[in-house]
Amino acid sequence: MQPDRSPAESAPTRKSVRSNADFMTEDQDSQRHLAHKPLYLMQRSIDIAEARKIPTYIMRDFHTPSSGPPAGNPPGPHILQKIGEEGVRQLLRLHYNHLLKSSIAHMFPTEPDAVEFAAQKNADFFIQLMGGTPHFSTKHGPPRMRARHMPFEITDRAKDVWLDCFFRAMDDLPFPEEDREEFKAFLVSFAGWMVNSAKDSV
């Protein structure tokens, strides 16, 4: 057993906070392992609100997008500086408002407290992604977003709806015009990597 590390040693470095590989990737063996993992063992890495939607065992084939993980750098800290943490949190609240009125609303919690929790968890991710306080890692551990989304069947069509809702939330905020393309480019790449079902792939 390894000795406990000090808080300073355990704290995520700037490199780990800004690394797309740390945020998004999970190897194929991990994906296969998760596919057959009992629900009670999965609850350590997912939220109770999410766990309610998952059958006891997940038995399906997983699709890996040919595009691979998001390439390049995530959205820069200059965006976070402009809209602030509260702006990011409001953006994700607006995103969930649109999602719950969309054709993929069944994939998300509906209870107000659960919706707010999910929106804030996602906001924590984006704040950390843009070089802000590592709220997500502190509260939930390493992001590994593709692995976290494996319990949910995500198709190309679902991805497109998710993106459309996010773009509409950016319009509602409003989002800084000069940073829209940078942020949207990341969202498209990120959402594409979350797709894990080829059911309706073109």
Domain locations along the chain: 20-194
Nearest to 193 by CA among 52, 48, 31, 76: 31
d(CA 62, CA 142): 22
d(CA 83, CA 70): 23
Of 3.30.565.10, 1.10.3210.10, 1.10.490.10, 3.40.50.300, the CATH number of 20-194 is 1.10.490.10
Q: Return the axis-axis angle of helices 180-194 and 156-172, rounded to nearest 10°.
A: 150
Residue 72: what pLDDT?
Answer: 79
Residue 5: what pLDDT?
Answer: 41
CB atoms within 10 A of CB 122: 19
- Per-residue pLDDT at 81 exceeds 70: yes
Which contiguous run of DSSP H or E holds residue 66? none
157 close to 194: Cβ distance less than 8 angstroms = no
For 71-75, 121-125, 150-154, which range has the lowest pLDDT when averaged over its residues? 71-75
193 close to 24: Cβ distance less than 8 angstroms = yes
d(CA 158, CA 142): 25
Instruction: Give the CA count within 13 Å in the CB-facing half-sphere of 160.
Output: 6
Task: Quote the percentage of the chain above a pLDDT of 90.
Answer: 60
Sole residue written with tokens 């594409």: 192
Task: Quote the percentage of the chain above a pLDDT of 70.
Answer: 69
Question: What single-letter DSSP state applies at residue 132?
Answer: S
pLDDT one-digit tens code per residue, 2-32 = 444 443 444 443 333 344 444 444 433 344 3
Average pLDDT, the chain: 79
Residue 58: what pLDDT?
Answer: 55
Q: Is the pTM of this model over 0.75?
A: no
- Per-residue pLDDT at 93 exceeds 70: yes
For 73-87, 134-148, 188-202, which range has the lowest pLDDT when averaged over its residues? 188-202
- Per-residue pLDDT at 48 exceeds 70: no
Triad 59, 25, 79: Cα angle to 5°: 125
Mean pLDDT of 49-71: 68
Residue 75: what pLDDT?
Answer: 95
- Per-residue pLDDT at 176 exceeds 60: yes
Mean pLDDT of 168-181: 96
